[in-house]
Copies of this chain bind each other. A is one copy, B any other.
Amino acid sequence: MTALTVTVWNEFVHEREEPEVQAIYPKGIHSVIADALQARLGGAVHLRSATLDQPEHGLSEEVLETTDVLIWWSHIAQEQVADEVVERVHDRVLRGMGMIALHSATKSKIFRKLMGTSCCVRWRREKDREFVWTIKPDHPIAAGLPEVFSIPQQEMFCEFFDVPDPDELVFISSFPGGEVLRSGLCYRRGYGRVFYFSPGDQDFPVYHHPLVQQVLANAVQWARPAAGVRTDPYLSRNSPTGWLDAVPHGVAGK
Protein backbone atom coordinates (compact mmCIF):
# COMPACT_ATOMS: atom_id res chain seq x y z
CA MET A 1 0.00 0.00 0.00
CA THR A 2 1.44 3.38 -0.95
CA ALA A 3 1.84 6.00 1.76
CA LEU A 4 -1.08 8.36 2.35
CA THR A 5 -0.33 12.03 1.87
CA VAL A 6 -1.80 13.98 4.77
CA THR A 7 -1.92 17.78 4.74
CA VAL A 8 -2.41 19.47 8.12
CA TRP A 9 -3.92 22.92 7.67
CA ASN A 10 -3.85 25.46 10.49
CA GLU A 11 -4.81 29.12 10.50
CA PHE A 12 -1.72 29.57 12.79
CA VAL A 13 -2.77 32.85 14.41
CA HIS A 14 -3.18 32.25 18.14
CA GLU A 15 0.23 30.57 18.40
CA ARG A 16 1.98 33.66 17.04
CA GLU A 17 0.01 36.26 18.93
CA GLU A 18 -0.63 34.80 22.38
CA PRO A 19 2.29 33.78 24.63
CA GLU A 20 0.22 31.24 26.56
CA VAL A 21 -0.70 29.45 23.37
CA GLN A 22 2.87 29.71 22.10
CA ALA A 23 4.04 27.98 25.25
CA ILE A 24 1.85 24.98 24.44
CA TYR A 25 2.34 24.94 20.67
CA PRO A 26 5.62 26.79 19.93
CA LYS A 27 5.72 25.62 16.30
CA GLY A 28 1.95 25.68 15.85
CA ILE A 29 -0.85 23.21 16.40
CA HIS A 30 -0.17 21.75 12.95
CA SER A 31 3.35 20.75 13.92
CA VAL A 32 2.23 18.85 17.00
CA ILE A 33 -0.45 17.03 14.99
CA ALA A 34 1.92 16.25 12.12
CA ASP A 35 4.62 14.95 14.45
CA ALA A 36 2.13 12.78 16.32
CA LEU A 37 0.80 11.25 13.11
CA GLN A 38 4.28 10.61 11.81
CA ALA A 39 5.31 8.94 15.06
CA ARG A 40 2.22 6.75 15.15
CA LEU A 41 1.79 5.87 11.48
CA GLY A 42 5.42 5.91 10.30
CA GLY A 43 5.91 4.97 6.68
CA ALA A 44 2.19 4.64 6.08
CA VAL A 45 1.89 8.41 5.83
CA HIS A 46 3.64 11.35 4.22
CA LEU A 47 2.99 14.53 6.22
CA ARG A 48 2.77 18.13 5.01
CA SER A 49 1.40 21.28 6.56
CA ALA A 50 -0.15 24.46 5.21
CA THR A 51 -1.20 27.73 6.81
CA LEU A 52 -3.43 30.73 6.20
CA ASP A 53 -0.60 33.17 5.49
CA GLN A 54 0.85 31.18 2.59
CA PRO A 55 -0.11 31.93 -1.04
CA GLU A 56 -3.52 30.37 -1.64
CA HIS A 57 -3.34 29.46 2.06
CA GLY A 58 -0.93 26.71 1.03
CA LEU A 59 -3.80 24.87 -0.67
CA SER A 60 -3.02 25.22 -4.37
CA GLU A 61 -4.67 22.91 -6.83
CA GLU A 62 -1.50 20.88 -6.96
CA VAL A 63 -1.34 20.44 -3.20
CA LEU A 64 -4.97 19.40 -2.99
CA GLU A 65 -4.78 16.99 -5.91
CA THR A 66 -1.97 15.15 -4.17
CA THR A 67 -3.58 15.20 -0.73
CA ASP A 68 -5.35 12.04 0.44
CA VAL A 69 -6.53 13.41 3.78
CA LEU A 70 -6.79 17.06 4.83
CA ILE A 71 -6.85 18.00 8.54
CA TRP A 72 -8.32 21.43 9.30
CA TRP A 73 -7.92 23.64 12.38
CA SER A 74 -9.36 27.16 12.38
CA HIS A 75 -10.91 29.53 14.87
CA ILE A 76 -10.30 33.26 14.93
CA ALA A 77 -9.67 33.81 11.21
CA GLN A 78 -12.48 31.79 9.65
CA GLU A 79 -13.64 34.66 7.47
CA GLN A 80 -10.16 35.31 6.08
CA VAL A 81 -10.18 32.05 4.15
CA ALA A 82 -10.74 32.86 0.47
CA ASP A 83 -13.97 31.59 -1.05
CA GLU A 84 -12.03 30.28 -4.02
CA VAL A 85 -9.96 28.02 -1.80
CA VAL A 86 -13.10 26.82 -0.02
CA GLU A 87 -14.64 25.85 -3.38
CA ARG A 88 -11.47 24.01 -4.33
CA VAL A 89 -11.34 22.02 -1.10
CA HIS A 90 -15.05 21.21 -1.37
CA ASP A 91 -14.68 19.97 -4.92
CA ARG A 92 -11.73 17.82 -3.88
CA VAL A 93 -13.68 16.22 -1.02
CA LEU A 94 -16.50 15.31 -3.40
CA ARG A 95 -13.93 13.59 -5.60
CA GLY A 96 -12.60 11.46 -2.74
CA MET A 97 -10.22 13.36 -0.47
CA GLY A 98 -10.82 12.67 3.22
CA MET A 99 -11.27 15.62 5.58
CA ILE A 100 -10.91 15.88 9.35
CA ALA A 101 -12.36 19.03 10.89
CA LEU A 102 -11.23 19.89 14.41
CA HIS A 103 -12.81 21.81 17.28
CA SER A 104 -13.79 25.37 16.22
CA ALA A 105 -13.66 24.35 12.59
CA THR A 106 -17.39 23.97 13.18
CA LYS A 107 -17.64 27.57 12.05
CA SER A 108 -15.24 27.33 9.12
CA LYS A 109 -16.61 28.07 5.67
CA ILE A 110 -15.62 24.65 4.40
CA PHE A 111 -17.26 22.64 7.20
CA ARG A 112 -20.49 24.61 6.99
CA LYS A 113 -20.49 24.15 3.22
CA LEU A 114 -20.10 20.39 3.63
CA MET A 115 -22.79 20.18 6.32
CA GLY A 116 -25.41 22.59 4.95
CA THR A 117 -26.21 23.88 8.46
CA SER A 118 -25.03 26.62 10.85
CA CYS A 119 -22.89 24.20 12.93
CA CYS A 120 -23.49 26.35 16.03
CA VAL A 121 -22.82 24.94 19.51
CA ARG A 122 -23.06 26.18 23.05
CA TRP A 123 -19.63 26.81 24.58
CA ARG A 124 -17.71 27.89 27.72
CA ARG A 125 -14.01 28.60 28.16
CA GLU A 126 -13.45 27.65 31.80
CA LYS A 127 -10.95 24.76 31.99
CA ASP A 128 -13.57 22.04 32.15
CA ARG A 129 -12.65 18.37 32.21
CA GLU A 130 -14.03 16.49 29.17
CA PHE A 131 -14.93 12.80 29.17
CA VAL A 132 -14.97 11.21 25.69
CA TRP A 133 -17.19 8.11 25.44
CA THR A 134 -16.90 5.52 22.69
CA ILE A 135 -20.40 4.78 21.38
CA LYS A 136 -19.40 2.56 18.44
CA PRO A 137 -16.68 0.24 19.75
CA ASP A 138 -16.35 -1.57 16.42
CA HIS A 139 -15.65 1.62 14.46
CA PRO A 140 -12.17 1.97 12.93
CA ILE A 141 -11.82 5.42 14.50
CA ALA A 142 -12.33 3.88 17.94
CA ALA A 143 -9.65 1.22 17.44
CA GLY A 144 -7.52 0.87 20.55
CA LEU A 145 -9.59 3.39 22.48
CA PRO A 146 -11.08 2.59 25.90
CA GLU A 147 -14.78 2.86 26.72
CA VAL A 148 -14.11 6.36 28.02
CA PHE A 149 -11.15 8.66 28.52
CA SER A 150 -10.72 12.11 30.01
CA ILE A 151 -9.06 15.32 28.87
CA PRO A 152 -8.13 17.29 32.01
CA GLN A 153 -8.82 20.77 30.67
CA GLN A 154 -10.88 21.78 27.68
CA GLU A 155 -13.18 24.39 26.31
CA MET A 156 -16.72 23.14 26.80
CA PHE A 157 -18.80 22.58 23.64
CA CYS A 158 -22.36 21.27 24.06
CA GLU A 159 -25.71 20.69 22.41
CA PHE A 160 -27.70 21.78 20.61
CA PHE A 161 -25.03 21.22 17.97
CA ASP A 162 -26.57 22.21 14.65
CA VAL A 163 -25.25 19.56 12.26
CA PRO A 164 -27.06 16.98 10.15
CA ASP A 165 -27.53 13.61 11.82
CA PRO A 166 -24.19 11.88 11.33
CA ASP A 167 -23.84 8.73 9.30
CA GLU A 168 -22.01 7.33 12.31
CA LEU A 169 -21.88 8.67 15.84
CA VAL A 170 -18.56 7.46 17.26
CA PHE A 171 -18.04 9.59 20.39
CA ILE A 172 -20.20 11.51 22.88
CA SER A 173 -18.52 13.88 25.36
CA SER A 174 -19.65 15.13 28.75
CA PHE A 175 -18.58 18.10 30.87
CA PRO A 176 -18.77 18.84 34.62
CA GLY A 177 -21.84 21.06 34.33
CA GLY A 178 -23.78 18.08 32.99
CA GLU A 179 -23.43 19.16 29.36
CA VAL A 180 -23.19 16.64 26.51
CA LEU A 181 -21.96 16.86 22.91
CA ARG A 182 -21.95 14.52 19.95
CA SER A 183 -18.16 14.93 19.64
CA GLY A 184 -17.00 12.38 17.03
CA LEU A 185 -19.10 12.38 13.85
CA CYS A 186 -18.68 10.66 10.46
CA TYR A 187 -20.20 11.86 7.19
CA ARG A 188 -19.90 10.97 3.51
CA ARG A 189 -19.99 13.79 0.98
CA GLY A 190 -19.68 12.71 -2.65
CA TYR A 191 -16.86 10.16 -2.78
CA GLY A 192 -15.11 11.68 0.23
CA ARG A 193 -15.31 11.04 3.95
CA VAL A 194 -15.54 13.72 6.61
CA PHE A 195 -14.84 13.31 10.33
CA TYR A 196 -15.50 15.99 12.91
CA PHE A 197 -13.77 15.70 16.29
CA SER A 198 -14.45 18.37 18.92
CA PRO A 199 -11.53 18.17 21.38
CA GLY A 200 -8.81 20.70 20.76
CA ASP A 201 -8.78 24.22 22.04
CA GLN A 202 -5.63 26.28 21.58
CA ASP A 203 -5.50 27.19 25.29
CA PHE A 204 -4.98 23.62 26.51
CA PRO A 205 -2.45 20.96 25.46
CA VAL A 206 -5.17 18.75 24.00
CA TYR A 207 -3.21 17.62 20.93
CA HIS A 208 -0.42 16.38 23.19
CA HIS A 209 -2.88 13.90 24.77
CA PRO A 210 -1.96 10.37 23.64
CA LEU A 211 -5.55 9.23 23.13
CA VAL A 212 -6.51 12.33 21.15
CA GLN A 213 -3.52 11.53 18.94
CA GLN A 214 -4.76 7.95 18.65
CA VAL A 215 -8.14 9.19 17.44
CA LEU A 216 -6.49 11.39 14.81
CA ALA A 217 -4.27 8.55 13.59
CA ASN A 218 -7.29 6.27 13.31
CA ALA A 219 -9.30 8.96 11.55
CA VAL A 220 -6.61 9.54 8.93
CA GLN A 221 -6.71 5.87 8.00
CA TRP A 222 -10.49 5.75 7.98
CA ALA A 223 -10.81 8.88 5.80
CA ARG A 224 -8.40 7.67 3.09
CA PRO A 225 -9.91 7.68 -0.41
CA ALA A 226 -11.59 4.38 -1.20
CA ALA A 227 -9.75 1.99 -3.47
CA GLY A 228 -11.30 1.93 -6.89
CA VAL A 229 -13.33 5.10 -6.55
CA ARG A 230 -13.45 7.21 -9.69
CA THR A 231 -11.59 10.48 -9.25
CA ASP A 232 -12.72 12.52 -12.21
CA PRO A 233 -15.02 15.48 -11.55
CA TYR A 234 -18.71 14.88 -11.12
CA LEU A 235 -21.00 15.22 -14.08
CA SER A 236 -24.70 14.72 -14.67
CA ARG A 237 -24.39 12.11 -17.39
CA ASN A 238 -26.89 11.43 -20.14
CA SER A 239 -27.47 7.68 -20.23
CA PRO A 240 -29.55 6.78 -23.30
CA THR A 241 -31.59 3.62 -23.65
CA GLY A 242 -29.30 0.65 -24.02
CA TRP A 243 -26.32 2.14 -22.22
CA LEU A 244 -26.32 -0.81 -19.82
CA ASP A 245 -26.60 -3.49 -22.50
CA ALA A 246 -23.39 -2.94 -24.41
CA VAL A 247 -20.90 -3.84 -21.71
CA PRO A 248 -19.07 -7.06 -20.79
CA HIS A 249 -20.72 -8.84 -17.81
CA GLY A 250 -23.15 -5.95 -17.79
CA VAL A 251 -20.38 -3.96 -16.12
CA ALA A 252 -20.71 -0.24 -16.63
CA GLY A 253 -19.77 3.02 -15.24
CA LYS A 254 -16.06 3.04 -14.47
Closest beta carbon of chain B to A107's beta carbon, Å: 7
Given A135-B182, A137-B226, A244-B178, A211-B162 contact (CB < 8 Å): no
Closest beta carbon of chain B to A237's beta carbon, Å: 5
What is the total number of residues of chain A having a CB less than 8 Å from a CB of chain B? 89
Name the residue among A121, A129, A250 with the largest chain B CB count within 10 angstroms.
A250
Q: Is the CB of B122 within 8 A of A237?
A: yes
Q: Interface 1/0s, chain A 117-154, versus B by CB < 8 A?
A: 11011111010110101111111101111111111100
Q: Is the CB of A131 within 8 A of B165?
A: no
Residues of B within 8 A of A209 (CB): 249
**A180 contacts which of B172, B187, B190, B253 (Cβ < 8 Å)?**
B172
CA A245 to CA B221, docked complex, whole Å: 31
Which one of A17-25, A33-41, A195-203, A228-236 contacts B?
A: A228-236
**A137 contacts which of B126, B230, B250 (Cβ < 8 Å)?**
B230
Query: In residues 217-243 of chain A, which contact B (Cβ within 8 Å)?
Result: 225-230, 234-243
- Interface assignment of A94: CB less than 8 Å from any CB of chain B: yes
Q: Is the CB of A124 within 8 A of B177?
A: no
**A143 contacts which of B147, B227, B239 (Cβ < 8 Å)?**
B227
**A178 contacts which of B131, B189, B210 (Cβ < 8 Å)?**
B131
Interface residues of A (CB under 8 A from B): 94, 96, 107, 113-118, 120-124, 126, 128-129, 131, 133-140, 142-152, 156, 158-160, 162, 164-165, 167-169, 172-174, 176-180, 182, 187-193, 209-211, 225-230, 234-244, 249-254
Across chains A and B, which 5 residue pairs bring their CB atoms closest together, nearest first?
A150-B250, A147-B253, A138-B226, A118-B234, A131-B178
A-B contact pairs, 7 of them (CB 8 A): A113-B116, A118-B190, A128-B241, A142-B228, A148-B251, A150-B244, A174-B179
